[in-house]
Amino acid sequence: MPTIKELKAELAKSNAKWTVNTQLADNVQIPQYRLGGKTELLTKFDKVAPINFKTLLSTPINNPYLLQRRIDKGFITKAAVSETLLSGLRIGQEPAGAPPAGGPAPAVIDWRNRFGWPWITTIRDQGGCEACWAFAAVALVEAMVRIEHCVWPHLSEGDVHKGMGAHCCDCGNPGNALNWMKDHSIADVGCYPWPANTAWCTGCGGTGGDPYNNIAYNPTNDRSGRSVRIPAYQNIGSVADQKNWLDTVGPIVTGFTVWKDFFGLGSGIYHKVNMLGPNTPNTIAGGHIMLIVGYDDGNQCWIVKNSWGATWGDHGFCRIGYGQTDIDSWAKIGLVGTNPDPWTKRRLHNGNMIESGNGSNHRNFEMLSTAQGGKIQHWWRDNSTAGLPWHKGITFGGPDVAVCPTLTGTTYNRNFESVHLTSNHRLHHWWFDQSGGAWHDGGIFGPNDAAGIPGFIQGNFGAPGNFEVVVRTADSKLNHWWRDGGGWHDAGRFGANIAYSGASLIQAHYGKQGNFELVAVTSSGQMQHFWRDNDKGTWNTGVTFGTGVASPPCMIEGQYGAANENAVGNFELCVAVGGKIQHWWRNNNGDGAWRNSATFGHDVRAVTSLVEGSFGFNLEVIVLRTDNKLQHYWRDGAGWHEGVIIGNA
């Protein structure tokens, strides 16, 4: 291969619109990267019928920005969207950064930052394997989970690649990977990762002597509950349809013929050059599959996410001129209707309500409350139906339920699991079997002097992840319990002068093991932040904030402030003070200070749950009123709103 210096000279001769990667020294040869795309298996663009977007997008999406775009472009009528959904998604209030209503498609779309939010997961590296087809397919699913459900996923290319039985040097096409995911779903990286090191393949069909080929596919045994489910993919033929898709749905997978100059790309807009050096013609290296995350009509190019690591191109991304090296010769691939798993959503809910994957749009609310006779009442809100109605489910358990249970979704086949304080000062576990549709008694455990609302999560330790519970005890301390395959274990007590514990235990992104974060209320009426350094297994006392608090708090780690799937989001906390709700948040990517952003509501005794769900990063709160009824409040970009009274607690 010619040197970088020689390639630069050829670019200067041809007045190229792009520059060589600045991280490459002049005296080194143009690098090579693995490809893997069997572009001959892709569908030609002219073999795909035009898409009827009105039919495809007839169901209102919960992402407010895209719903607005679909209304603007006439793909769905405003009359087809319920008034409740319109209000909840703030239609009629133009989102920041959106094009004018009724206007043409934007001249530039870039899903890395659109509507003021990031939507694309971090750049990955396929290493020495011919696996671009798997990486591009996974990147598409990750993007659509983020866009459709407003949560960062972190999915595993290794789960797909090895699950399909592929070897390191096996080329493929993204359609086969997406078909496998449709039939088997796709798990997160903790369930089965992409190998850290792979040998260099000798090309499609080669052996390369790669030890990767001998690695067994052995995902964790809770894979069924920690994997995203997807429907069939959609081929998109014409460039007009592709741009409409990027505008109103999301990113698309593309095929591409790689010429060897592409390996040296840095910034600018890629157009193939004829020569690599004074005596070396440019030649084809092979087929490649990538993810288009946007376009730029002014510069006549696609914006593309590659899988060669963040040191290639423009931090792992690039811009490719329209029509260049067959990029518009094949149909591109899109996806609608992802169904995230509880593991992906686990930081976004706390208290007696979660957002499950149930319902046709995979976003129903599930809630537990107390019922007469010391029993538990299951409620659910159909978030796929006009009016977003609440329904009563079954009543179960009892007669020992003292307060609203703390509910979560788990990796045990997506089961719901709850823990509540009993009237006998113990803790009681129940679980809902998704396959059988029934609640089951998980048994009584914990201290003999429990005296508060339990914080309850499924944590990082173990596979499946251990259950973790923290609850106030009668000696005004906090007691930590955890469950693995051997049952429940007492991890000891910490803290002092605790007046109220709440559903405020989080498995955060902090630390190598992911620290536990917790807020309780002290006898002085202040909230006390605790955190456990999970690398050392020790609880630490953080700052105090707030005054006059005499009720349990509820806390989550949300999506605000999280720039990608690996970043920590802000903590969001709601608590009842003086009959109203206070919303607090902690800037986890700045000064780390707690701030009271709003006080709202009326006749509130306690906050029972806090959720950041699929409705455009909205916060959803359930409160216990002074008349013993449960009421819903929610926050969008316009502020906090009073919702319906659901029923008796």
Catalytic residues: 288, 306
Residues whose CB is less than 8 angstroms from the CB of residue 472 and which lie 6 or more positions away in sequence, other chains included: 450, 451, 452, 453, 478, 479, 498, 499, 500, 501, 520
Provide φ and ψ at 275, rounded to 5°. -125, 145
Check residue 272 and report its DSSP letter: -
Using CA atoms, how far residue 340 sits from 152, 276, 414, in Å, is 10, 45, 10
| Distance (Å, whole) CA 253 – CA 426 | 53
Return the H-helix or E-strand segment holding 11: helix 4-13
Structure tokens, 336: 């609608």
| Distance (Å, whole) CA 326 – CA 328 | 5
Check residue 7 and report its DSSP letter: H
| Distance (Å, whole) CA 559 – CA 570 | 7
Q: Residues 39-62, buried b or exposed e (16+ Cβ, 10 A)?
A: bebbbebeebeebebeebbeebbb
Yes or no: say if 478 and 518 are a contact pair by the CB < 8 Å rule.
yes
| Distance (Å, whole) CA 336 – CA 177 | 16
Structure tokens, 362: 């995979």
| Distance (Å, whole) CA 121 – CA 457 | 25
Nearest-CA neighbor of 527 among 538, 518, 514, 540? 518
Specify the residue for token string 């050829």. Answer: 10
| Distance (Å, whole) CA 455 – CA 469 | 5
Alpha-helical runs (H) found in 73-129: 83-88
CA angle 643, 648, 649 (to 5 degrees): 100
| Distance (Å, whole) CA 517 – CA 501 | 13
| Distance (Å, whole) CA 124 – CA 315 | 11
Specify the residue for token string 């007469």. Answer: 372
